Each structure stands twice: as structure tokens, then as C-alpha cells.
Amino acid sequence: MQVQATAEAPSSSSGLSYKLHPLAIVNISDHYTRRVMAARQRQAKGAAPAEGGGEVERVIGLLLGEQHGRVVEVWNSFELDIRRIGPDGSIELDRDFLLQRKEQYQKTFARLDVIGWYSTGQGPPGQKDLELHNTLTEFNEAPVYLVLDPLDSRELPVSLYETETRFVDGEATQTFSKATYTIETAEAERIAVDHAARIVSGSGGAGSSAADSRSELTSQHTAHLAGAHGAVRMLASRVRVLHEYVELVRAGQLPYDHALLRDISSLTRRLPAMNSDQFQQDFLTDYNDTLLVTYLASITKGTSAVNELVEKFNVALDPLKSRRRGYLSV
């Protein structure tokens, strides 16, 4: 079977659904950034470039995730060590390092398996990528290939490929096919990524105090709550407009618009049933959890205030300092 890479990768026909989580993308970006900074530091010091010349800035790693039926989720990733880059562009990985890192990650994240690999680069994958792709089939019989283009101006310059066997001129040929993906974000991931993005964009200098950091976090939280409150108010105002329209139509003051009424009916049918026992139970559970968190926050705040008061009291009424003040006053 021949191995071939097309100039324009065709669309995948496997029917698999891919979901990328932010942690994997952040890890790949961080890996590339560290490699570039290390190369610039070597150049600044006048050191010889690493083996491989211009390919030093290319980074390679494995993708970790899980597959449920036709859905493949990419949860995490870890970097690999490139042992040698040949003159023809062939890449030799450090196999001992790969097996060691794989064992370490599977001890910590037992449910995650190797589902593919990633690399940085420009343009569609080439034949050397297919050769490296085939060497990783021992960890997954059908690995997925993620490419991050650091020079692409798109908002998310990430492409996903999988291999398919196609018949070209009557001969079986293995080619890369471009797969579609969606970004899947859990609540904890969304908060963490948003927090990291805000810290990076608004981080102060080295002399920033802890009080300034707490004030900045508080302002960020306030801005987030204000945005959520504004969205809820906008939603309530639009629902109010629809409700007033339906009431006017029912009273005969406005003519029937059947298309609009069908849209309103379709919208209301999407809402969950609010009178079910399951909803009441879930609502009360969330409500009690929120009250508990608020109560614990109040206790923590009160404990901190009492601790600060005790420290001030000890400083003001220290026995040794009191004796010194009495001796000086005599």
C-alpha cells in the first residue's frame, strides 16, 4: 500500500465526532511558546542552533482522551522529545521518553488513552507526517493528527486529520482526511481558561501587591456577574415583549401572525417542564448548595476579620512592650 499526502486534504468520511477540550490546546500552545523562547535565548547567547536547523521550532506530542462509540474527546496532551531530525525531514522520537511519560500519565489519568498526536506546522500534512503517523499506530490503531499553525491569523488555527485508505489508479493509497471538530468545555475548564486569559491580559509588574491582585480578581468577578445580569435582563425584556404580543392577539387588538405564533410555540416547547418533581428536587439541591457556599464564604470572611483583629490586639497589648512603656514613663 502506498503512502501519499495530497495538497488539499479531502474531507473525512469516517463519521466520527471529535470534541477538543481547552486544556489540550493550551498545552500545545505553551509547548510551542517555550520552544521558541528557548531558541531565541540560544541565539542571543550566540550558541549553535539545535540539531535540525529550522525545524527546531516544531513541537510534537501525544493526545490523550477517550472514545465513546462514535464520539472522540481530546482531554489532555503531553510533549515528546525529538531525538533527531534527518536532512529529508524525517523525525526520530525518543521512544524511552515517550513510554515513560505515557506510563506516568496513565497512572494519574487511568481513563485517558492515547488517541493521537499533535504537531505545529503550516499547510496540509506531508509524507513525512504520514510516516510518523504510522509509527504511532502501536498506541492506537487509528490515531488522530492535530495540527496547530502558529502563523495562521484565524481565531483558532487548529486542524484535525485522520487517515483513510482510498483507491487511486486502482491501488490502495493512505491519505490524510480533514475531520471536523467542536470545542467542548466543562464548567471548571471554562472558569480556569477565562481566569488565565484575564490574568495574562491584565497582569501587572513584578511589584504588584497581593492586595492589588485580590482587588483585580474581585473586579473581574464583578464584571462577570454584571455581564450575566445584563444578559438575564435582556432575555426577560424580550420574553415580556412576546408575552404582551400574545395577550394583545388574544384580546383581538392585533391581527394573527401565524408564522410568528408558530415560532413562539416552537420556542416555548423547547423549555423544560417546570412543574416536575425532578426539577423541584434539582432546583432545591442547587439552591441549598448556593446557600451553603454563601454561608461558608461568610464564615471565612468573619474568621479572617477576627484573626486580623487578634493580631492588632496582640501588637497593641504586647506584655513586653507594655513593660517597656511603663519603665520609660517612670
Residue 4 confidence (pLDDT) above 50: no
> Over the stretch 164-189, which tens digit does the pLDDT of each residue have?
777 667 677 777 888 888 888 777 77
Cell of 291: 446557600
Mean pLDDT of the chain: 78
Residue 319 confidence (pLDDT) above 80: no
DSSP characters for 110-150? TT-EEEEEEEE-SSS--HHHHHHHHHGGGT-SS-EEEEE-T
pLDDT at residue number 328: 43
> Over the stretch 201-240, which tens digit does the pLDDT of each residue have?
555 544 445 555 555 556 666 777 778 888 888 988 988 9
How far apart are the C-alpha atoms of 87 and 227, rounded to whole Å? Answer: 54
Segment 137-140 long-range contacts (CB within 8 Å, at least 24 positions apart) = 139/62, 139/102, 139/114, 140/113, 140/114, 140/115, 140/116
CA 26 remoteness from chain centre: 6
pLDDT band at 292 (very low <50, low <70, confident <90, very high): very high
Beta-bridge mates of residue 120: 148
Q: Is 89 left (phi over 0), alpha (psi -120 to 50) or beta?
A: left
Instruction: Tell me, yes or no, if the pTM score tops 0.85.
Output: no
Q: Which residue has better confidence, 154 or 118?
A: 118
